[in-house]
Structures are given as structure tokens and as C-alpha cells.
Structure 1
Amino acid sequence: MEFIWYLMLILLSTKLAGDLAVRLGQPAVLGKLLIGIVLGPAVLGWVQEGSFIYQFAEIGVLLLMFIAGLETDLEQLKQNWKSAFAVAIGGIILPFVGGYSSAIGFGFDQHHALFFGIIFCATSVSISVQVLKEMNQLGSREGTTILGAAVVDDVLVVVLLAVLMSLMGTGGDISLGLLIGKKLIFFVVIIIAGWLIVPRLMKWLAPLRVTEAVASTALIVCFGFAYFAEWLNMAGIIGAFAAGIAVGQTAYKHTVESKIEPIAYAVFVPVFFVSIGLNVTFVGIGSQIGFVILITIVAIITKLVGGGLGARLTGFGARSSLVIGAGMVSRGEVALIIAATGLQSGLLLPEYFTSIILMIIATTLVTPPLLKALFPRKQASSSS
């Protein structure tokens, strides 16, 4: 019965914390992230990580990215693909240099320093998606560029990680050609499925004489795409995002949105927000506090400047470029997965694992207020 207590506690605390954050002029998601730290092992210890938290959080982030895909303007995404690519490249080069240089400065050897650089390259826009949604800017030019850049970033970071693991002999039988081939297969299949299969599937299953046939069919597409992505070593959130875009092109878009959002935000998404805070622990961190502060500052600045520079070079104004850079700052669950992979393969030294987790959490926490502060005032208020 413990999971029922956890669920009740998480739902109540996230709603109260989110409301408090809004009253203080911050996005609600910031309060929800912070309450995860308070409830977790770092402070009160009332909620512990476990299979229930992990599975609900996984569903939560998939639904969050599916909804983002639903609300994405595909035409605007096509128009901004050059900017998205430039933002992703800038958001990889600068963070990699910053992470690698920081590691070398602290006496890391080449292998561990290179992996450190790769952790800094990771981006997870699930938190940015929520902030942009709260501000009614998910469909803006900045919002679609951030989403597009995140997809490119995810692919490039996975390829970089595979290259490093192959060179270091820690990746088993990883073949770079096979890995890139899998990425190409994923995008080809997803595009074909989204164009030809999803509309037919929605039209075929929607008339079934059962409750919520349309919503259930949309969830089948979402989880099917996410599973296919994971199967081909892509992040499941990319598959869920692609599924949202595909369903968003059908006549059922608004029906699906009105049905899925209550499911996501009532139960699963709050658990995802809290799960991030559960990774925080302050045990034995005193001796590395300077290291944590430095790598956090480097991680924030390099992503902000790198992503912003990519946007600026492709036609965005100075303020919008900073917004896009800020949207790429959060490392989130993508970096957590990479860090765990490095720990298992020996590319990340165990004594620095907690410091890396704290850096990842800090970049995730700083993203909501950064976006709120940087988004053009006039544009943000006119659309709210």
C-alpha cells in the first residue's frame, strides 16, 4: 500500500508547491521540481525511489512530450530546421569544450575528461516544454526551434557516446555504422508511419463502440513510437514527440488533446517532476562543493551561449536567441541516463557521480526561471 501513500503525497504537494511558485512570480514547474527534493532523501525522506516512481515518471515524461508534439506547428518546425540544427550544434560544441576543460583542470585523465564533456552536451527539453506551455509559447518560433534542436541534440549525443565507448573499448560490440543506421531507420519508419499508418489507424479505431476509443488509440501510437525509439537506442521521449506530431496532423487532434492532458497532468506528470528531485543527496558532498559549483556554472553558461549563438547566426534576435539557449540548458533525465551508463562502463569515476547528479539537477532547476525572465515580455503577455 506504500505506493498509494506516495501517490497521494506527490499529487497534493506538487499542486500546493506549483501554486506557491506561481504566486511568487515563477513557473509552476519550478515549485514541483523543488518539492521533489524536499520529499526525497535529501531533506524529509518521505518518498523513496522505486519501481512505482520510475514507471509512473517514465509514463509522465512520455505523455508530456506527446502533448508537446500535438501542439507543435509542423510548418513552423520545417521553416526553422536550419536554426534547430545550428542550435543543437552550438549547444554541443561549447558544452563539450567546457566539460572537457573543467575535467582536465581537476586532474582527470583523457578518457574520463572526454566522457565528462559528453555529459555536458546532453539536453532534455521536457522541463522547458512545460514552462513554454505554461506561458502559451510552445507553438512559438522559439518553442518549435527548441524542440527541433532537442531532437538533433539527442541523436548527436548518442552517436558521440557510442564513438567514445568504442574507442575506449567499453562499448562491447557497438558498431558506429550500425548505430547510425539505426537512427536513420528510426526516422524513415517514423516519417512513413506518421504519414501513412497513424491517420488510418485513428480513423479505423476511433469509431469502435467502446469508451474513449480516440484517446486510447492516441496512447497506443504514443507508446508504440516510444517503444520503437528505445528499441533502436533512441530516447523514448523522441518517439513520443514524433507520435504527438503524427496524431496532431489528423482530424482528432483537439479531441486527443482534451482527453490526454487531464490524464497526464492529474497523475503521471507530477510523479515525473518529483522523481527528478529524488536523485538529490548531499551525503559526502562537502569536499566537492567547489567542484559542483564550477561545473554547474560552466554547464549553464556553455549551453546558454552555445545554443543562443546557433540561433543568432540563423536570424533570431538577441533576446530570442537567449530564450532558445535557456531552453536547452536543462540536462534532465537524458543526462541522468548518460551518467549512469558512464558509471557502469567505468568512464565516470564513482566518487564524482553525486557531483554530476547535482549539476544535472541544478541545470534543470535553473531553466524555468531563466525562461520566464528572458522571454520577450510583450510577446509573452500578449499570448497569455
Structure 2
Amino acid sequence: MPHDTPLIATIVIGLSLAFLLGLVAHRLKLPMIAGYLLAGIIIGPFTPGYVADQELATELAELGVILLMFGVGLHFSLKDLLSVKNIAIPGAIGQILVATAAGLALALLMGWGIGAGLIFGLSLSVASTVVLLRALQDRNLVTSDRGRIAVGWLIVEDVVMVLSLVLIPPLAGLLGGTAQPVTDGAAQEAVRMGFGPVTATLAVTLAKFAAFVALMLIVGRKLIPWILHYVAHTGSRELFRLAVLAIALGVAYGSSQIFGVSFALGAFFAGMVMAGSTLSQQAMRETMPLRDAFAVLFFVSVGMLFNPMIVLTEPLALIGTVLIILVVKSIAAYGIVRAFGHDKETGLTIATSLAQIGEFSFILVVMGTKMAILPTEAKDLVVAGAMISILANPVMFAILDRWSARHRKADPEPEPVVEAA
């Protein structure tokens, strides 16, 4: 009996093709990400042959983002996060403003409205969680000073994007699109009390975010490690693995549904409070295989969004988009990091880490298109820019690695002075 199994087909064909093309890329000494992206293009709607379910692929990729951010949280503590707040908060906000302004300027040159330009620029300002963390993990930089700054910067970007996604619908009419009603119950109540829709939405969003952080730091900090230790004492590795996955996915999903926080941010806080447990390293090992598999599906899902015709129809606009992602963002990040007194290597690492875009960029541009704020070609430009920047990012890191190696060789650290007894 034939069965319609789009979920199984998407996973099997996506992973199998990603494996084959990733292997080819590895043999050709290219980034394996190139193979994964090409796999997505092949099974995407813009090429002939089999077309995978795009919505399912995107949801599967979201699991990879959740597990990846959960793993980062396991390496992090609240102390680590607070230690970089002085550069992560102004740095992320400053870089977002610079990239958004550059995107707005490009949009105006293309004849779009100011509202379209603002959302387009915002979509170019936020880095991909998967790409950034994979690059840091490959170089064992997540727990270094540079890694903590990059991750803290990423968390601030996530918070700004969550606020943007909540505020765009009530602002859609002002931005040149179709006006949207306020759908959140608490925000509707605030509107009935006399607050404006934007003020009500922003106040409710900030209140929910504060409530989520307080709940995780007060209750979750004690409850999650206790659950983990209780399950560990059962002696069942299977139950322990299930508990870790249930906590990571459950907190991510629950925080999104109840508090309006992104999956990635919820998973990060779940990992961060679990880091207080002595079992955190075991929890990391148990989630690693699933994390890697679903991270591959993220790149496949990005490839599925890519329309190759944009290269021929809008070449100049595409070049401008890529320059904003790779050059403008990098210069802004480097300048901010150096202005805060950090060394050149730290500045270059942060600049390179952020020279790409991903998940939130797609969500923003799709939302803007659905609400008639953005023209349809904006999505193609953002996806094409994401693909090119994701491919370019490993190359940029390879150049940075060689520069760092030469720099350390030319200027070795001084030998420690040992005083005579």
C-alpha cells in the first residue's frame, strides 16, 4: 500500500544527498557546507526533479538551531554572559544600525519605500546562529574571550530580532504594507485600556521576556539540574538522554508559546541553567549526534530557498547585498570591537564570525513580503546573499587562521620570567 510520507522523504533524501555532495566537496577541499547547500538547491522548487517539502525542511532545521544553542548554553554561565555585556550590547546594536542603514540606502536606490528598506536592512544585519557557532566550535573558540563576545553579541541580536518580529505587524501600515490587527491577548487588553497598539505590544513583549528570564534564573536554575541528577541516579542512559532532549526542546518550545521568545533563545537559557549541573558535559555528548544531523538539514533548507535566476535578473542588487553582509557588517563590527579596547585578532574574529546571515533573516523577509511591505525580489536577494555569505565565511576564517598563525610566529609570547631562589 503506498503511503504519502513527506517528512520521511525530506529527511532521507535531504541527508543522503547532503552526505554525497558533502563528501565530494571534502574530496575537492571545499567547505562541506557547499555540498549541503547544493543538495538543497537540487531538491528545491527552482530546479527540475524531486521537490522536497520546504516547510518541513525549515522546521527540521529549526531543531538543529535549538540543539546548537542549547549546546552553547551548556558551555556558558550567567557570569560569562554578564562579563561581555559592556561590548555585546552596544556592539550588536551599533552593528545592526549600520547594516540596517546600508540596506535602507540600497533599497532606496532600487526604488523601494523606506519601510521596505528598513526591514531589508534589518534582515541583513543579523548573523546565522548555525554558521557562527559551527565556525567557533571547529576552532575551539566558544569558551575563549573571543567566543564569549561573539556568542553574547549573537544573543543580543536574537533579542532585537524577537522584538522586531513582534513589532512589525502592528507597524505594517506605517511601513507601507497591509495594516495588521493586534492578536496578542494581553496587548489587546492594553489597547482597550487606552494604550496605542505599538506601545502595548512593546510593553507586553518586554514584560514577557523579563518574566521568562526571571523564571529560568530563579526556578529553572534549581529545577533543571535537580531533574538531571534525579534521572542520572536511575542508572538508565536512555532515560538520561531522553531527559536532556525533553528539557532542551521543551523549554525552547514552551518559551516560544508562552513568552514569545525565539526557540534559539529559549534553548540557550535551558542550556545555561543546566550548565550549573556536574552532568552538563554528559548532556552535551548525548545531544551532539542529533545536533550535527539537524544542523546539516539547516543548510539543506537554505539551499531549497535559493532561486538561481536572481543572479541573472538582479546582478547589481545582489552584489550590493553581498557587500553589505561581507564588508559593511565586518567593518562595523571590527571598528566597534577595537573602539572598546580589544586587540586586532579579537576584532577580526568577531568581524569574520558575523559576516553572514541566516535564520532570522529569512523569517523577517518572508514576514515583510506577506504583509506587502517588501517586494517579492527582496526574498530572493536575502536568500542569495545568505548562500554566498555562508560559502564565503569558511574561506574568510581560513584566511584569518593563516594570518593569526603568521602573527603569532612573528610575535611570539614572551617567556615567563622565573625569579631566582
Q: TM-score, normalised by structure 1?
A: 0.88
- Superposition pairs of residues 1-384 of structure 1, within 5 angstroms: 1=5, 3-22=7-26, 27-43=31-47, 45-72=49-76, 75-169=79-173, 170-173=179-182, 175-208=201-234, 210-231=236-257, 232-265=259-292, 267-283=293-309, 286-375=312-401, 377-378=404-405
Code of the residue aligned with 1:78 in structure 2: it is L
Q: Deviations over 1:53-86 (max 9, x none)?
A: 2332222221122222223465444322222223
Q: Which runs of 5+ in 1 are unaligned?
A: none
Task: Give the C-alpha shift of residue 329 in structure 1.
Answer: 2.5
In the TM superposition, what whole-angstrom CA distance separates every residue of 1:1-55 from its partner, at most 9, and x where no partner exists?
5654543443344334445545555554444334433443445644523454233
Q: Which residue identity does 1:237 align to in structure 2?
A: A
| Aligned 8 A contact 2:355 2:389 in 1 | yes
1:333-381 deviation line (CA, Å, top 9, x unaligned): 1111111111122211224332232223323332232233224634999
Q: CA shift at 1:284, angstroms?
A: 6.2
Deviation of 1:186 (Å): 2.3
- Given the superposition, is the C-alpha separation of residues 192 and 302 from structure 1 closer, same or farther in structure 2, using an over 3 Å criterion? farther
Superposition deviation, residue 324 in structure 1: 0.5
Larger radius of gyration: 2
Report the 3-state secondary structure (helix = DSSP H, G, I; strand = E; otherwise coil) of the residue aligned with 1:121: coil
Do the aligned residues in 1 keep the contact of 2:91 with 2:336 (CA within 8 Å)? yes
Aligned residues: 381
Q: Which amino acid aligns with 1:356?
A: V
Contact 1:247/1:253, CA 8 A, preserved across alignment:
yes
1 CA distance for matches of 2:248 and 2:84?
24
Name which of structure 1's ranges 31-40 and 145-154 shifts more when overlaid on structure 2: 31-40
Q: 1:276 to 1:363 in 2, by over 3 A?
A: same
Greater CA drift, 80-89 or 202-211: 202-211
The 1:337–1:141 alpha-carbon spacing in structure 2 relative to 1, beyond 3 Å, is same
Counterpart amino acid of 1:143? G
Secondary structure of 1:296 counterpart: helix
Q: Alpha-carbon deviation of 1:92?
A: 0.6
In structure 2, stretches of 5+ residues that fail to align are 174-178, 183-196, 410-421
The one-letter amino acid of 1:172's match is: P
C-alpha displacement of 1:116: 2.0
Change (3 A) 1:369 1:37: farther
Change (3 A) 1:212 1:53: same
Asked if the contact 1:136/1:380 (under 8 Å) is kept, the reply is no
- Paired with 2:407 and 2:74, the residues of 1 have a C-alpha distance of 21
Contact 2:221 2:274 (C-alpha < 8 Å) held by counterparts: no
CA spacing shift, 1:349–1:146, aligned 2, 3 Å: same
Change (3 A) 1:159 1:320: same
CA RMSD of superposed structures (Å): 2.8
Confirm or deny: 8 A CA contact 2:126 2:360 kept in the other structure. Answer: yes
Contact map agreement 1:214 1:252 (CA 8 A) in 2: no
